Amino acid sequence: MNDNGQRLLELCTYHNLCITNTFFQTKPQHRVSWRHPRSKHWHQLDVVIARRNNLKNVLLTRSYHSADCNTDHSLVCSKLKLRPKKLYCSKPAGRPCIDARKTANSEKAEKFRETLQENLCSGPGGADVTSKWQHLRDTVYNTALSVFGRRARNTNDWFEANSDEMIPAIEKQRAALLEYKRSPSQSTQQALRAARRTVQQTARRCANNHWLQLCSSIQTCADFGNLRGMYEGMRKALGPTQNMTAPLKSKSGDVIADKAKQMERWVERYSELYSRENIVVDAALGAIELLPVMDELGQEPTVDELKRAIDSTAVGEAPAQDAAPPESSQNSRSPKKLLVKTESRTGPEKESYSLNLSRRHSRELTGAK
């Protein structure tokens, strides 16, 4: 042990720390991390230090010689047992998103229409309006989810997109590194250098092709006027954005870091804001121009109006509270297929109920309030 090792031990003793590499019974090759180039002796230079109180959470600490970190030191990893803190969220978990891109498939769209028509025929007969609406909402969503499937998560990583080409090259590099560490010689060293060079060339080519394809798709969307695809490509290229928040300041301009004082500052701010009296003169109210009353907005929509409203829904919009995308309502072709059968109602009462139910469904699909 040299002077640096002695200083490290004194530091750990003074601050009640422990070196976790020495607390586990592992193989001798798993305790060392660096080999001297001339004497060929292995040494333990890379360590993982933890507090003695937290030593019970450390499961294992060892070296991994097969990991190529582009250095002469081996990788040292430590397995920990952590207890994550449970966070309580008042917002309930949402439904899985439906893959709306599959609505362009004619076979799946036809299957969705047939399945939806069959499921709607078996609706509740004598239930109230709320139960029938919930049955309609759940039927549309479950049918779309079973036919179109869940929306897959898009990856923006070029490595995962070219994993079939990158992983074999990395495996060859790892095998060459292990062979060099077992029997260091000029031939094994040259094989390791050639494997590293191959990995670098493959990685640069895959990354370059990924960015060229992404830039080409963005340019194609811009040329054809597909603004949605263009902005999606730009978000993939730029990555996730960070929401920057301004610090909360007091009246004097000092930054408030304490949470309790921040809450007091918000209470003070809104108390001053809402306690302020605003006097409105009658002459100002009289000067406001009154708009004519549109009585036609209170009338019930017709089937043709409902059909035009569904057909004019923008494609690609986010789903509303029922979690069904607008494409699912457009693939039904006719608003009559979205109506629940009401055998117990006859005459004008049945027609009025069906139109109100369809109007409510179309508003939720289009996100209208």
Which tens digit of pLDDT belongs to each residue from 268-313? 988 888 888 878 888 888 888 888 888 888 888 888 887 887 777 7
Mean pLDDT value of segment 235-262: 82
Give yes or no for residue 201 having a pLDDT over 90. yes
Long-range contacts of range 123-127, CB-CB < 8 Å, 24 or more positions apart?
123/340, 123/341, 125/341, 125/343, 125/344, 126/344
**Residue among 87, 146, 89, 90 nearest 115 (CA):** 146
Give yes or no for residue 314 having a pLDDT over 60. yes
From 184, 212, 238, give the residue that closes a domain: 238
> Residue 224 is encoded by which pair of tokens?
């054809």
Residues 6 or more apart from 89 whose CB is under 8 A from it? none
130 and 198, same structural domain?
no
224 and 198, same structural domain?
yes
- Provide, rounded to the nearest whole percent, the portion of the chain with pLDDT above 70: 81
> What confidence score (pLDDT) does residue 304 get?
84
> What confidence score (pLDDT) does residue 125 get?
66
Mean pLDDT value of segment 312-329: 69
Q: Do the beta carbons of residue 199 and residue 215 sit within 8 Å? A: no
> What confidence score (pLDDT) does residue 316 get?
65
Burial class for 283, CB neighbours closer than 10 Å (0-12, 13-18, 19+):
exposed
> What confidence score (pLDDT) does residue 155 get?
59
Residues 6 or more apart from 295 whose CB is under 8 A from it? none
146 and 166, same structural domain?
no
What is d(CA 148, CA 154) in angstroms, rounded to the nearest whole number? 17
Residue 11 CA neighbour count, 13 Å, CB half: 9
211 and 166, same structural domain?
yes
Global confidence as pTM:
0.48
> What confidence score (pLDDT) does residue 258 get?
85
Give yes or no for residue 358 having a pLDDT over 60. no
> What confidence score (pLDDT) does residue 367 get?
46
Q: Tell whether 293 is covered by a domain.
A: no
- Which of 46-55, 133-142, 149-158 shows the lowest per-residue confidence on average (mean pLDDT)? 149-158
50 and 104, same structural domain?
no
Q: Tell whether 265 is covered by a domain.
A: no
Q: Do the beta carbons of residue 44 and residue 32 sit within 8 Å? A: yes
Question: What sign does the CA torsion over 309, 314, 319, 320 have?
Answer: negative
Q: Tell whether 12 is covered by a domain.
A: yes
> What confidence score (pLDDT) does residue 320 get?
67
From 52, 80, 108, give the residue that closes a domain: 80
Reduced to 3 states (helix: H, G, I; strand: E, B; else coil), residue 325 is coil
- Which of 138-142, 147-151, 231-235, 363-367 shows the lowest per-residue confidence on average (mean pLDDT)? 363-367
Q: Do the beta carbons of residue 248 and residue 262 sit within 8 Å? A: yes
**What pLDDT, in 10s, does the model give residues 72-116?**
888 999 999 988 777 766 667 778 888 777 777 888 888 888 888
> What confidence score (pLDDT) does residue 365 get?
45
Helices (H), strands (E): how many in the chain?
12, 6
Q: What is the mean pLDDT of the chain?
A: 80
Give yes or no for residue 217 having a pLDDT over 80. yes
> What confidence score (pLDDT) does residue 300 get?
81
Phi-psi region of 191 (alpha: psi -120 to 50; beta: other; left: phi over 0): alpha
Q: Do the beta carbons of residue 34 and residue 73 sit within 8 Å? A: yes
Q: Tell whether 257 is covered by a domain.
A: no
139 and 200, same structural domain?
no
Q: Do the beta carbons of residue 29 and residue 65 sit within 8 Å? A: yes
Percent helix, strand, coil in the chain, to 5, is: 55, 5, 40
- Using the structure block, give the residue that is written with the tokens 């002469």: 72
> What confidence score (pLDDT) does residue 102 get?
79
**What pLDDT, in 10s, does the model give residues 154-194?**
656 788 888 889 999 999 998 998 888 888 889 998 998 99
> What confidence score (pLDDT) does residue 285 get?
84
Q: Tell whether 345 is covered by a domain.
A: yes
Number of structural domains, the chain?
A: 3
Q: Tell whether 243 is covered by a domain.
A: no
172 and 145, same structural domain?
no
Q: Tell whether 198 is covered by a domain.
A: yes
181 and 147, same structural domain?
no
**Residue among 216, 213, 200 nearest 156 (CA):** 213
Per-residue pLDDT band at 199 (split at 50, 70, 90): very high
114 and 55, same structural domain?
no
Full residue range of the structural domain in which residue 222 is found:
158-238
Q: Tell whether 85 is covered by a domain.
A: no
> What confidence score (pLDDT) does residue 315 get?
67
> What confidence score (pLDDT) does residue 212 get?
93
**What pLDDT, in 10s, does the model give residues 339-348?**
444 344 444 4
Angle 326-331-334 (CA atoms, 0-180°, nearest 5)? 105
> What confidence score (pLDDT) does residue 246 get?
75
Q: Do the beta carbons of residue 190 and residue 180 sit within 8 Å? A: no
Give yes or no for residue 335 having a pLDDT over 70. no
Mean pLDDT value of segment 119-123: 77
> What confidence score (pLDDT) does residue 127 get?
66
From 201, 223, 238, give the residue that closes a domain: 238
> What confidence score (pLDDT) does residue 200 get?
92
